[in-house]
Every structure is written in C-alpha cells, then in structure tokens.
Amino acid sequence: MTISKAAAIGGGVIGAGWVARLLLNGIDVSIFDPDPEASRKVDEVMKGARRAYRRMLPDGLPKQGRLTFAKTIAEAVADADFIQESVPERLDLKHKVLAEIDTHAPANAIVGSSTSGIKPSDMQVAMKKHPERLVVGHPFNPVYLLPLVEVVGGAQTFPEAIEVAREIYASIGMKPVVIRKEIEAFVGDRLLEAAWRESLWLIKDGICTVEELDDIMRYGFGLRWAQMGMFQVYRVAGGEAGMRHFMAQFGPCLKWPWTKLMDVPEFNDELVELIAGQSDEQSGQWSIRELEKIRDDNLVAIMEALSKQNKGKGWGAGALHKDYVKRLGKLAAKPAVSKAAAKAKANKPKKAAAKKK
C-alpha cells in the first residue's frame, strides 16, 4: 500500500525523522507540534536528511513532498491516509493525543505510535471510535536512514491493520518486523536496556571509561552485529558443528556471576556527572550537528558496503538499502505531475465514455 498524504503529530528528534523519510519519498506531510521552535528543529533534521540522501542518490533526489504546519491535531489529520504519533513518553499525554487523532482522522487511516516502550493496548483504550487501527511503529534514530521499525498490535488491533501498517512502512524503504506478542519495550529496547544497564555498572565501578567501552563495541562485536545480528554470529562461532556446539560450549557461562543485569546502579548526580564528564572528553570537540553528519555518513557507507556483498545482491541491511536506493532513483526520474493534471487524467476516460454513450 502506498500513501499520498501523511500526518505527523510531534516534531521532536523522532517525529522530525519520520517527516524527513516521508517527504523524501515524495509524500505530503501535515505536522502538528505546539513547540514554537518546531519549524526550526524540523528544518535542521531535513537538512541532515537531504545531505545523507544526496550521498545515496548523487544523480538527484525525488521530488520532495509538501510540508505544512497545522495549527491543531484536527487540521493535521483531517485528510491523512497515515498518521504517525511521536509525542513524549507519558501515557496521559498519549491518551489525550490519540483520542483527538481518533476523533478527527478518516476512519480508514492507520495510526502508528513511535512509543519506545508503552504497550498499544494501554494506549488504545483512549480511542473510542476506531481503536482497531492503532499499531506501535517503533523506529530507531535516525528514522530517515535506519530501516528497522517494530510493528506491534494491541488487544483491539485488527490483524488487517497490522498488515496495512507493515505495507506502508515497507513502501517507504523500511524493514518492518511484526512483534509476535505485545510486551513493554518490545524487542530492540529490551536488548539496548540490557547493554545500557551493564554499561552503567562498568563505568561506575571504574572498569573502563565511556570512550573505552564505545571502542570495545565499535571495533569489536558491533561490526559483527551490524551485518549478522546476534544468533547468526554465534552460529558461525560454533564452527562446523554450528549453534548446538556453541550452546554446549558457552551455555555454562550463563550460570557464572558475570553480569549485574538484575541490579542497577543508583542513578544519582554523581553517576550523571561521571558519565557526562567522560562523554565531554570523548566527543566535546564536535557539535551535535557535526556528530549527526559523521553518524549519517558512516551509516550510509556501511549500508552501501553491505549492498555490494552476496555477489552483488546485498546482505542484510545492505540488500534493503540497495532496493531502497533503486526505488528512490526511479521516483527521482519520474516526471512530476501536478494534482490538477492527475485529476484531469483521471476524469478523461469517464468523459470519453460518456461521449461515446
């Protein structure tokens, strides 16, 4: 399924990332965000997104969709095919916003929530008209480059809505993974939380600095994870005997007291200052915008490298990237047709048939 008009509710880092991906796929977007700085913030994200996409498409980008800033949620969603909600992670706020979306959006419009941890069942209770069309569509930052989106249905979500949402996300170059069971924080954030919790202990206990920990990830297993994930990597580590040998060899270590995953260090000012200070030493020479450019360039380079693997078919995110760039290239080569011309073309056969009759 393709969409021609989308609405974005919330224009923060994630909301603006959705806006960028949609616009750069030629989709018109109406956005609502009460922040007086919303326009500037979205524009900053758009600059970064366009820069990254020019690296992927040096011959030119597709015609960008039209962005409008709505004064109300009702105005933003009035004629949208698809709505992505990206407001802060407060259930009371989600209820208020989703209830308003549900009241004013077309009945057939799919509503996706960018929540990183709230179950859809807990959110859709506020939707009195059409709770069946709500899904979680949890992306990862930057939304305009990273293709993964976790799709989760709630107790009232229709299976058809999940399928339509999956098709919508796939149509804008994403890799939708439907989570089989509704659970807080879904899958990606649960994995991240485990690594984050152990990382806090390692820093607090003086085992390593934030820079040393990041180096261990980015020079080591992070490179393996980027192209194979966890289980495929471990299957290879098992040698010719595969996963069974790996499990037999390393399974016993699960009983060893290596991690502190069942505990968490006290989150106090001392820990915040320790980590923030080390982070300043590590990255303080770059502004956030400079780091975003570095991040985007690295992501494009990694995905482009992976797109050349597997005898040119691409591997993992690289295979999806290859198809996405090809799709965007076709979109860029397609001549722009005005809405008036499209309407005239659509009406032409009807007029001819009437005249013949």
Give the domain-ending residue among 152, 178, 204.
178
The verdict on 214 and 281 lying in the same domain is: yes
Task: Provide the β-strand partners of residue 28.
Answer: 5
15 is in an annotated binding site: yes
With pLDDT > 90 as the criterion, what percentage of the chain qualifies?
86
Q: Per the domain annotation, does 354 fall within a domain?
A: no
pLDDT digits (tens, 9 = 90+) for 295-342: 999 999 999 999 999 999 999 999 999 999 999 999 999 876 555 555
Q: Tokens standing for 96?
A: 């208020």
289 Cβ neighbours under 8 A, 6+ residues apart = 44, 48
Does residue 150 contact residue 186 with C-beta atoms inside 8 Å?
yes
Q: Is 112 annotated as a binding residue?
A: no
Q: What are phi and psi of 97, to 5 degrees?
A: -70, -45
Per-residue pLDDT at 259 = 84
The answer to whether position 351 is within a domain reads no
Q: Which amino acid is at 86?
A: S
pLDDT at 199: 97
Q: Do 73 and 131 lie in a common domain?
A: yes
Element (H, E) at 220: none
188 carries a ligand binding annotation: no
Q: Is the dihedral of CA 269, 270, 273, 278 positive or negative?
A: negative
Looking at 128, 159, 178, which one is the last position of a domain? 178
Q: Are 8 and 29 in contact (CB under 8 A)?
A: yes
Query: Where do the H-state alpha helices sit in 205-287?
Result: 210-216, 222-228, 231-237, 242-250, 269-283
Domain-embedded: residue 346: no
Same domain, 152 and 98: yes
Residue 347 lies in a domain: no
Cα–Cα distances (Å) from 116 to 87, 141, 257, 265, in that order, read 11, 11, 30, 22
Handedness of CA 157, 163, 168, 169 (dihedral sign): positive
Residue 117 in marked binding region: no
- Judge whether 341 lies within some domain: no
Instruction: Tell me, yes or no, whether 97 and 34 share the same domain.
Output: yes
Q: Where residue 129 sits, what CATH number does that domain have?
A: 3.40.50.720
| 249 in the same domain as 114 | no
Q: Please report whether residue 25 resides in a domain.
A: yes
Known binding residue 312? Answer is no
Instruction: List strands edge to edge, sheet with 67-69.
Output: 67-69, 28-32, 5-9, 82-85, 110-113, 134-139, 148-153, 175-178
Angle between helix 188-204 and helix 269-283 axes, rounded to 10 deg: 100
91 and 214 inside one domain: no
Identify the CATH number of the domain in which residue 313 sits. Answer: 1.10.1040.10
What is the predicted pLDDT for the residue at 351? Answer: 42
Total domains present in the chain: 2
**321/318 Cα distance (integer angstroms):** 5
Q: Output the tens digit of pLDDT for each of the chain's 357 residues.
A: 779 899 999 999 999 999 999 999 999 999 999 999 999 999 999 999 999 999 999 999 999 999 999 999 999 999 999 999 999 999 999 999 999 999 999 999 999 999 999 999 999 999 999 999 999 999 999 999 999 999 999 999 999 999 999 999 999 999 999 999 999 999 999 999 999 999 999 999 999 999 999 999 999 999 999 999 999 999 999 999 999 998 898 888 878 878 888 888 998 999 999 999 999 999 999 999 999 999 999 999 999 999 999 999 999 999 999 999 999 999 999 876 555 555 555 455 444 444 443
Domain match, 220 and 300 both: yes
* Domain span at 173: 5-178
Residue ending a domain, choose from 178, 199, 233: 178
User: Looking at the whole model, is its pTM more than 0.85?
Assistant: yes
Q: Do 196 and 98 share a structural domain?
A: no
Q: Are residues 104 and 217 located together in one domain of the fold?
A: no
Q: Are 102 and 221 members of one domain?
A: no
- What pLDDT sits at residue 254? 77
Q: Classify residue 221: in a domain, yes or no.
A: yes
Per the annotation, does 203 bind a ligand? no
In this prediction, residue 2 carries a pLDDT of 78
Asked if residue 198 and residue 52 are part of one domain, the reply reads no
Judgement on whether residues 114 and 217 belong to the same structural domain of the protein: no
Any domain includes 338: no
